[in-house]
Structure 1
Amino acid sequence: TTDEIEDEDIGWLKELSQSYDDSCALVINEEEDADQSTSNSFSFLKHDDNEICFDDEDNANEKQDKPQETETKSCQELQDKIKDKYATLKKTIEIIDAPAMTSKSPRRSKRSSGNKKTSIEPTSRNSVENGLIEKNKPGLSFYCRSANESPKFLRTSLKDKSRNGLDDVVLKNDVKQTKNKPNVKQVNFQSDAEQVRFDNEDTTRSVKTIQRDTIKLNTNPSLYKLQSMQSQSIRHTLSGMERHYVTNARPTLGDNIYLLSWLCSWLPQQMTMELPPPIFKGIPLEKVDHVKQDYKNIVDFYETIEPLLYHQVWNEMYLQYVKEFRRGAKHITLLRETIEHVPTRIFQNSKKRLFRIQCSIKNTISKWLQEKQILLLTFSPVSAETSPFECFAYMIAIDRHSNNTSFDLNITLDVVSEKELTLFPTRVEIHAQILTRVDMNHWKGVLLRCGNNPLSRTFLNPVNIAEPPLIRMRDLENVGTCTLGQKHVASTFLDVCLENDRKLVLVDAPAGTGKTTAIVKAIENLLLYSHPSPHHRILVFGSGVGSMDEISGQLINLRKSLASQAQKKKIKFLRLDDSQDAEVKTYTCAEFIQSDLKGFKKEALENPDVLKWRRDKISDLISKEPDKQSPYCQSLMKAMKDVDNYPEANVLSKDFHLYFFKNQKLALIDKADIMCCNLKELLNLENCNYINVNSQRKTTVCIIEDANQCTDLDLSLILQLHIDKLILIGDSTVDAILPFACLYKKNFHWNLFKRLIRAKAASHSRKQMIPVVKLNHIHRGTSTLRRNIMAVFGHSGTMEGDPKSSNVNFMDWCVIDHRLEGVVAPSASDKTIRIKSCDQEASLVVNIAIEVKNKYPHLSVVIITPFDNQKAVIARTVSNKHEEIPGIWVSSVTEFMGRQADVVIFSTKLPYALTRSVLEVAFTRARSSLIIVGNFSTHFARNPSYTGIEWAKVLEISKNTRSLRTVGHNFDLENEKQALSLILK
């Protein structure tokens, strides 16, 4: 009877209802596990309009010998009982009449008896599988739903049952036990159930089936019984999402991206393993070819390097997603590129475009972090017929388990068809604007078209690159305080630019050696002081925002320092992309265009001839268009109508703004003598076409800043440009901080700059030469800073440093060892758990920065840290203490690359986790004082193996020079004066 139903019998259903926001059917039937053993379940059966019959079958054998009495309860009584049992679900439970399939009364086997099914049960199963079911009889379904939902129904589909290959729940229908038993009808459910909607007027005749592919539920070991249920809210599969697409529809600027999430299950063996399971980075290493030193052709180059792009894209998108998620933003802006297809056999011929990112989660016992959750993205053009909710889903599982001890989606998609993906819509709208995107096929097409570019052989076979040796030093003007090495760089730069037989030069310079100053001085001499005056155009590209802002700022200051207006006209600077620096931002393309648009509107009101001239320009563009019905031509026609109606209408449509933006952008790029931007801007084919417009009139010199931080595919984007000279600047001793660092295990030589350096070393025997200019002297910092930095990293250089600001009473070099956080460093066998933020350390560095700024307002102060988590904590601490403190920056080490400040406060947080490249950048940013803060004693005492040679020298130098300060647990973080006393001499 219903009174005998125990909570554990239906507890899993309660757990299911509480786990998902989606509604689920409240119907439970007898099921069969994978081992063919029977588990308890029950069914509610409709007898007539007022009563419900429940058939108890705890003693099935005895019931076959003697008649049974069926206990009946009223609908209202049973409904109240269910409501009481599931009161915590906060759902509306109701009884709904629905078409059902006939069956004999189900039976319920006793849990304690462990009896197997009788011989008649397979016969009953076969009868169900053979479709001997009446679909026109009424039945009863208990359905949990939200108050604002309309009723939905399920019906059983057994068509593909035999070939599904799943251990699905099979519903059993037994024969009549006695003729006296009432004729009972039942609603059957199965994990392959279809979702259907019934006409309210006639539920026995009209059935509308939602068109979809087969949906399967995950065989999750921890929630195995969930197989018997299928969510009522499944609205769209991957195929369903595609029905809104127009033929050959492509995502465009302004479309929305919707995120799908896949969270794998932890297998039992994973939960008990002593060591973490292996972590895959998307494509398994054993399936990726070695990056070669040289390639046969551009196709060979692309196919070998392509996997690296996927790793790079996933990492950049995920980092941006995490940053936006921490801010609590529902509308996620992806500032990086996306990719348009999954490189698997199953999806290559499909219209679907799936995009993957990996992140880390904890296992059930919180033992390690492991990459398990994968975010998938799919495009859906915005239209009136399609709402964001309809196309956004949360993917909970994939039907099959991998034989490996960890999951990898790329492998899974090769063996699991797209029909086996289970999707559940969520209640939250998360969408993102596409700012830039990467079409992999387009990228490949670009490389194939660039096969005849003279620079392509540099990428394919750098060993055979031969350049004439440098013979003489060219005279320089206005060198100022440049060192001998910087003069050598500038002289070599001029020699390459002014000699026709030279195309390539490398500048190998560690951080802090003044390579940015040398390049700016070289550009100044080329554009202003070369005789005869050459027609050169300088393109400066890079991968980091900080380095681009630093070199842009120096070029702007150079232009401002020129007294002659004629000289200023020779240095027209343009920043093509956006900038984080306020001064550089005024020289961006977008700012210039906005200023020109305001000027046009004002002048058009005063001079009608301006409108006539603009109309003639648009008319000329329309006449050159071969297809007058093209969207671009139609947009130009609308823009011309705006000009005709202006200023009477006093409104300019988006079509005119689009025309004006493109026209002014072309003019700005064409007139610019120096242009800076990120390499990613070359993914926009329009930018490349604009840059190539005046390539025949000027000699194009391309400078790649921080070339050692750029992948081969990033650098290959310059093959779209008509470049005459190429200068690569980087540090050959530093490896880039990249998401696919695990590929180093296979000796990947992925970077063109390093391959050219290697080719230089190998070319001596064949008497071939690649010009390489080296900078070894630290250029920034006081004599104390330079001496300590050279001792730590082994650089050479002069001891004469920059003079320190007068009346400054704190140390040039200071190391603060604090014990505020009280965090025990992880053991060597568990390196993946790292707490990358500390509030106490953040408060300490902020107190120091505030006191330094208050006492010495003329000094620039920056707080840098290698971790984004710690950066967010520091920024929040600064805003809590003071709303705005002019002159104090908070930045990550990567963002501050290429910049400098008077006082640099370095919050290490996890000193043992930092690489040499991070330390080199951080230590060489200060002009006057470097303050290093971290919990060194605690971490290194418990993990002596983490103490690298750099940190050992840092601590040794600090002890010998008496610049090591210790902060205990009792340090008063609220006393800002006490914080300043730590760095005083």
Structure 2
Amino acid sequence: TTDEIEDEDIGWLKELSQSYDDSCALVINEEEDADQSTSNSFSFLKHDDNEICFDDEDNANEKQDKPQETETKSCQELQDKIKDKYATLKKTIEIIDAPAMTSKSPRRSKRSSGNKKTSIEPTSRNSVENGLIDTNKPGLSFYCRSANESPKFLRTSLKDKSRNGLDDVVLKNDVKQTKNKPNVKQVNFQSDAEQVRFDNEDTTRSVKTIQRDTIKLNTNPSLYKLQSMQSQSIRHTLSGMERHYVTNARPTLGDNIYLLSWLCSWLPQQMTMELPPPIFKGIPLEKVDHVKQDYKNIVDFYETIEPLLYHQVWNEMYLQYVKEFRRGAKHITLLRETIEHVPTRIFQNSKKRLFRIQCSIKNTISKWLQEKQILLLTFSPVSAETSPFECFAYMIAIDRHSNNTSFDLNITLDVVSEKELTLFPTRVEIHAQILTRVDMNHWKGVLLRCGNNPLSRTFLNPVNIAEPPLIRMRDLENVGTCTLGQKHVASTFLDVCLENDRKLVLVDAPAGTGKTTAIVKAIENLLLYSHPSPHHRILVFGSGVGSMDEISGQLINLRKSLASQAQKKKIKFLRLDDSQDAEVKTYTCAEFIQSDLKGFKKEALENPDVLKWRRDKISDLISKEPDKQSPYCQSLMKAMKDVDNYPEANVLSKDFHLYFFKNQKLALIDKADIMCCNLKELLNLENCNYINVNSQRKTTVCIIEDANQCTDLDLSLILQLHIDKLILIGDSTVDAILPFACLYKKNFHWNLFKRLIRAKAASHSRKQMIPVVKLNHIHRGTSTLRRNIMAVFGHSGTMEGDPKSSNVNFMDWCVIDHRLEGVVAPSASDKTIRIKSCDQEASLVVNIAIEVKNKYPHLSVVIITPFDNQKAVIARTVSNKHEEIPGIWVSSVTEFMGRQADVVIFSTKLPYALTRSVLEVAFTRARSSLIIVGNFSTQFSRNPSYTGIEWAKVLEISKNTRSLRTVGHNFDLENEKQALSLILK
């Protein structure tokens, strides 16, 4: 069977790899016969100064006297050994003579590149006898590895001389034989320079070509067949190496080349696939067990959850490609960007957008980390002379040594001049956030180190988690208009934080029930009104930028509303990552540090004692370093020299900037009472170390917002932190959005929050109880909105709603059913109706928004849609009509989660394809008015089998309340006043 062949191939390669020392390399030749069948030969090269031979355990001391006998005997022994054990595999081991190389350059490889479905026939022995590799063969593949790098792959075409300049490649054994052979060009992988180098002098052009081909090897569409053949190799590397070589596997440079095998130009058959192309990595999904409810240990937990992350990343790449392709884009964006823009002096004026891929390697000798950042830079054309499309460039000149696992890119670019950046432009734009094995190793290393964390048992076996019942309700102050459910959440929060024997609480709250307000009130009562005053620190994490900005904004407003300075000192807020909100940005770590740096420069000119104090601080850090020659210590010495020469020199070097950034960041995190950031920020080990600095002095309370949307692998990052209390907030009725339907069949949607809820429901013992506080009352909206939303989704709650703004003369609830031409078209491959064009619906919602804003400028207006391409069409329509309309937002439903506005216009585009969770979020964002726009009647008539209860109730309620409006084919889309008349009472 295919599975047996795969296992035999792995065992065969593993046995060969263990037969030689670290100076061996595997050579694979492919040969295509006339009948289109493929045969491969596998060989090992042994390089030892001036001789080429195989190690022989019996005659190790005689190899210099009789190298030929040793070579023949070793080869024969290996052939017999392999043939006896793997007789069914027709593989032949050949010894190929090769030129001498340094012992550190090539190493053995644990990868194979054979086609697992093709039998491999024996090849001729003439190449061994003559010391040559047949140059008529179509390809030659090298697998080499240097002392501190992962296996490198280079493929050259011997017939295509113009590709890389490697024509007439010959491997030799004796220098005397070179008279009758072409010149030798030696391939050597250099670990430090991360490039290919030849021993010939006149090879500068070839070096650059090979370097580019090596870096973007898997972006070449012609290598698709070869990459398909590497699936077994990648599977062996990512799963087998992690499982069998845990102690030896280290993060290495270049791993991103082998992980995803993505193509910048997709094949025609891939463009028409409904599902993403196959994944040539990791463990096959078919062989993965169901996600368990409890695990034996951390390793068991990691190995079960790991494939979900692989599929999630690959799916994001594929969906992004589909979006760009449907828009008719000339170039493809394969993955979302990691950094949208970097506001630095260097890049502000050049209209450039910056992205990053980061890899790290560990130097086992000096125990430092060498960091290499490959920056993907795109820039818009600014003149007719530039290229009509954006360019893609590698920037490989930012190589630094530090003692951190990651490097702050913003600070680096502030101090690195543009001349130091080496660019290799290509003709393809690729925005990439490549998940390398560095990330996976870091994740796994974090989990293995956190096995003794008290919270780890919560992840492994939630069924046995026992929490004592609540003793009493805590008294609250300044609760304002909070509902009874919100007060219960705040009271439970206080009880968990103030009692030593309580560690965990769950808050189960659907969208619109006011969980963010309840958490803010709970934090306020904990930090300000608790007696005696406790020493608590609040960490708020989440997976969405919108929800993090919303709760950050409320915490900032809370601090501003305090009249007493003593109370304000108790709430020091810090946003650790970047924010999209202008006000929240002023509280980010980067903004504080930039402000402190300006203040230091100004104060140093007026008060010399500031420089003396700063110099003493740097001197203390240097004295604590055991190795004074380490890169970190050398950088500190340069920073101290800058302080000595300031302000005469009037210039601070990049070493001082880096020291200042780290020192101020540590001080900010240490003093902050409340910190908010994305869970991904915990991948930065430096952030985790800074957070853990004052964990002994303060009780750390961790709040996870939208915990139902976080995967178990994301939530496991908090195990790095010293956390005393854990509060998980989510909606048990909403599953995390997963890529493929096959993942739901494997029960991958059970994350930690869902597993705890399920354990609570399955527990029949009173002792094993997990505190769960439920919020069911709709908190936002007028009485009409609340009544309709409760009728649609079945929620309970009070009918008293928020008061409507005075002098507002339009409906609280309005449904617009349009029948505009050219909007919908039936799909031949699916029962649902696919939207063909969104322009007319976009024009309708934009005209309504403009007229509402013009008539009622004091109201906030937002247009939301569940689809990204519809969002782009609406944004383009808004920009075409008015360059700038203050107060009108355009957002997706996911991005607007956790936020609110006075008037919400919901462009459904494809109503019957939306899930209940999307509808709940969209319907509960409005404070005064909700306007729903879609083609309901046409789609319902073409989908008679549809049984969407939510939409049926929406249409029924709208008809009964006379709030349903119909737009026909002749409706004037350009008339804003006519559009406004649709929603007037």
Is 2:346 the counterpart of 1:351? no
Change in CA separation of 1:718 and 1:222 when aligned onto 2, cut-off 3 Å = closer
CA drift of 1:365 comes to: 57
CA drift of 1:312 comes to: 2.9
Greater CA deviation, 707-716 or 224-233? 224-233
Task: Report the Cα distance in structure 2 between the residues aligned to 1:176 and 1:648, rounded to whole angstroms.
Answer: 65
8 Å Cα contact 1:332-1:433 kept in structure 2? no
Task: Report the Cα distance in structure 1 between the residues aligned to 2:316 and 2:940, rounded to whole angstroms.
Answer: 32
SS at match of 2:560: helix
CA drift of 1:738 comes to: 2.8
Greater CA deviation, 593-602 or 231-240? 231-240
Task: Report the Cα distance in structure 2 between the residues aligned to 1:753 and 1:498, rounded to whole angstroms.
Answer: 23
CA drift of 1:285 comes to: 3.0
8 Å Cα contact 1:811-1:984 kept in structure 2? yes
Change in CA separation of 1:3 and 1:227 when aligned onto 2, cut-off 3 Å = closer
Greater CA deviation, 28-37 or 99-108? 99-108
8 Å Cα contact 2:150-2:253 kept in structure 1? no
Change in CA separation of 1:335 and 1:802 when aligned onto 2, cut-off 3 Å = farther
CA drift of 1:307 comes to: 1.0
Change in CA separation of 1:300 and 1:808 when aligned onto 2, cut-off 3 Å = same
SS at match of 1:235: helix
Change in CA separation of 1:598 and 1:303 when aligned onto 2, cut-off 3 Å = same
Q: Which has the higher contact order (CA 8 A, sep 6+)?
A: 1
The aligned residue for residue 437 of structure 1 is 437
User: Gaps (5+ residues) in structure 1?
Assistant: none
CA drift of 1:684 comes to: 0.5
SS at match of 1:142: strand
8 Å Cα contact 2:135-2:169 kept in structure 1? no
Greater CA deviation, 159-168 or 677-686? 159-168
CA drift of 1:421 comes to: 30
SS at match of 2:773: strand
Task: Report the Cα distance in structure 2 between the residues aligned to 1:532 and 1:560, rounded to whole angstroms.
Answer: 24
Change in CA separation of 1:43 and 1:703 when aligned onto 2, cut-off 3 Å = closer
Greater CA deviation, 752-761 or 20-29? 20-29
SS at match of 1:94: strand
Task: Report the Cα distance in structure 1 between the residues aligned to 2:932 and 2:970, rounded to whole angstroms.
Answer: 20
8 Å Cα contact 1:26-1:144 kept in structure 2? yes
Q: 1:667-714 CA deviation, whole Å, 9 max, x = no partner? A: 111111111111111110000011111111111111111100001111
SS at match of 2:176: coil
CA drift of 1:497 comes to: 0.5
CA drift of 1:67 comes to: 54
SS at match of 2:200: coil
Change in CA separation of 1:743 and 1:963 when aligned onto 2, cut-off 3 Å = same
CA drift of 1:635 comes to: 1.3
Task: Report the Cα distance in structure 2 between the residues aligned to 1:119 and 1:763, rounded to whole angstroms.
Answer: 55
Change in CA separation of 1:947 and 1:823 when aligned onto 2, cut-off 3 Å = farther
SS at match of 2:779: coil
CA drift of 1:397 comes to: 31
Greater CA deviation, 837-846 or 55-64? 55-64
CA drift of 1:6 comes to: 46
Change in CA separation of 1:119 and 1:836 when aligned onto 2, cut-off 3 Å = closer
> Could you state the TM-score of these two structures normalised by the residue count of structure 2?
0.67
Q: 1:855-891 CA deviation, whole Å, 9 max, x = no partner? A: 0000000011111111111111111111111111111
Q: 1:692-739 CA deviation, whole Å, 9 max, x = no partner? A: 111111111111111000011111111111111111000001112233
Greater CA deviation, 684-693 or 635-644? 635-644
Change in CA separation of 1:491 and 1:227 when aligned onto 2, cut-off 3 Å = closer
8 Å Cα contact 1:216-1:399 kept in structure 2? no
Q: 1:99-126 CA deviation, whole Å, 9 max, x = no partner? A: 9999999999999999999999999999
Task: Report the Cα distance in structure 2 between the residues aligned to 1:795 and 1:128, rounded to whole angstroms.
Answer: 79
8 Å Cα contact 1:236-1:423 kept in structure 2? no
Task: Report the Cα distance in structure 2 between the residues aligned to 1:746 and 1:326, rounded to whole angstroms.
Answer: 31
Q: 1:80-112 CA deviation, whole Å, 9 max, x = no partner? A: 999999999999999999999999999999999
Q: 1:163-205 CA deviation, whole Å, 9 max, x = no partner? A: 9999999999999999999999999999999999999999999
8 Å Cα contact 2:139-2:156 kept in structure 1? no
CA drift of 1:409 comes to: 32
Q: 1:588-622 CA deviation, whole Å, 9 max, x = no partner? A: 11111111111111101100110111111111111
8 Å Cα contact 1:121-1:174 kept in structure 2? no
Greater CA deviation, 516-525 or 144-153? 144-153
Change in CA separation of 1:828 and 1:699 when aligned onto 2, cut-off 3 Å = farther
Change in CA separation of 1:344 and 1:448 when aligned onto 2, cut-off 3 Å = farther
Change in CA separation of 1:6 and 1:542 when aligned onto 2, cut-off 3 Å = closer
CA drift of 1:947 comes to: 4.6
Change in CA separation of 1:784 and 1:657 when aligned onto 2, cut-off 3 Å = same
Task: Report the Cα distance in structure 1 between the residues aligned to 2:351 and 2:851, rounded to whole angstroms.
Answer: 60
Task: Report the Cα distance in structure 2 between the residues aligned to 1:389 and 1:978, rounded to whole angstroms.
Answer: 41
8 Å Cα contact 1:467-1:503 kept in structure 2? yes
Greater CA deviation, 618-627 or 731-740? 731-740
Change in CA separation of 1:13 and 1:542 when aligned onto 2, cut-off 3 Å = closer
Greater CA deviation, 774-783 or 216-225? 216-225
Is 2:779 the counterpart of 1:779? yes
SS at match of 1:74: helix
Greater CA deviation, 316-325 or 539-548? 316-325
Change in CA separation of 1:620 and 1:423 when aligned onto 2, cut-off 3 Å = closer
Task: Report the Cα distance in structure 1 between the residues aligned to 2:240 and 2:598, rounded to whole angstroms.
Answer: 47
Structure of greater Rg: 1
Q: 1:281-338 CA deviation, whole Å, 9 max, x = no partner? A: 9864312121100011111111111111222333456667888999999999999799
8 Å Cα contact 1:905-1:933 kept in structure 2? yes
Task: Report the Cα distance in structure 2 between the residues aligned to 1:360 and 1:886, rounded to whole angstroms.
Answer: 44
Task: Report the Cα distance in structure 1 between the residues aligned to 2:697 and 2:626, rounded to whole angstroms.
Answer: 28
8 Å Cα contact 2:110-2:237 kept in structure 1? no
Change in CA separation of 1:645 and 1:16 when aligned onto 2, cut-off 3 Å = same
CA drift of 1:265 comes to: 12
Greater CA deviation, 875-884 or 83-92? 83-92
> Could you state the TM-score of these two structures normalised by the residue count of structure 1?
0.67
Greater CA deviation, 678-687 or 187-196? 187-196
Greater CA deviation, 822-831 or 667-676? 822-831
Task: Report the Cα distance in structure 1 between the residues aligned to 2:121 and 2:97, rounded to whole angstroms.
Answer: 28
8 Å Cα contact 1:9-1:41 kept in structure 2? no
Q: 1:423-468 CA deviation, whole Å, 9 max, x = no partner? A: 9996447576999996211211111111111111100000000000
Task: Report the Cα distance in structure 2 between the residues aligned to 1:318 and 1:403, rounded to whole angstroms.
Answer: 36
CA drift of 1:941 comes to: 1.3
Q: 1:235-263 CA deviation, whole Å, 9 max, x = no partner? A: 99999999999999999999999999756
Greater CA deviation, 35-44 or 895-904? 35-44
CA drift of 1:58 comes to: 62
Change in CA separation of 1:824 and 1:699 when aligned onto 2, cut-off 3 Å = same
Greater CA deviation, 127-136 or 45-54? 45-54
8 Å Cα contact 2:860-2:901 kept in structure 1? yes
8 Å Cα contact 1:905-1:930 kept in structure 2? yes
SS at match of 2:233: coil
Greater CA deviation, 301-310 or 685-694? 301-310
User: Gaps (5+ residues) in structure 2?
Assistant: none
The aligned residue for residue 649 of structure 1 is 649
8 Å Cα contact 1:473-1:492 kept in structure 2? yes
CA drift of 1:748 comes to: 2.9
Greater CA deviation, 363-372 or 643-652? 363-372
Task: Report the Cα distance in structure 2 between the residues aligned to 1:633 and 1:62, rounded to whole angstroms.
Answer: 48
Greater CA deviation, 644-653 or 377-386? 377-386
8 Å Cα contact 2:377-2:394 kept in structure 1? no
Change in CA separation of 1:129 and 1:911 when aligned onto 2, cut-off 3 Å = farther
8 Å Cα contact 1:103-1:133 kept in structure 2? no
CA drift of 1:407 comes to: 37
8 Å Cα contact 1:463-1:759 kept in structure 2? yes
CA drift of 1:533 comes to: 0.6
Task: Report the Cα distance in structure 1 between the residues aligned to 2:688 and 2:831, rounded to whole angstroms.
Answer: 45
Change in CA separation of 1:166 and 1:805 when aligned onto 2, cut-off 3 Å = same
**What percentage of residue pairs aligned between the two structures are identical?**
100
Greater CA deviation, 223-232 or 864-873? 223-232
8 Å Cα contact 1:836-1:910 kept in structure 2? no
Change in CA separation of 1:341 and 1:260 when aligned onto 2, cut-off 3 Å = farther
Task: Report the Cα distance in structure 2 between the residues aligned to 1:798 and 1:350, rounded to whole angstroms.
Answer: 55
Task: Report the Cα distance in structure 1 between the residues aligned to 2:301 and 2:104, rounded to whole angstroms.
Answer: 67
SS at match of 1:58: coil
Please tell me the root mean square deviation across aligned C-alpha atoms, in Å: 17.0
CA drift of 1:52 comes to: 45
8 Å Cα contact 2:391-2:429 kept in structure 1? no
Change in CA separation of 1:409 and 1:29 when aligned onto 2, cut-off 3 Å = farther
CA drift of 1:128 comes to: 16
Task: Report the Cα distance in structure 2 between the residues aligned to 1:65 and 1:456, rounded to whole angstroms.
Answer: 60
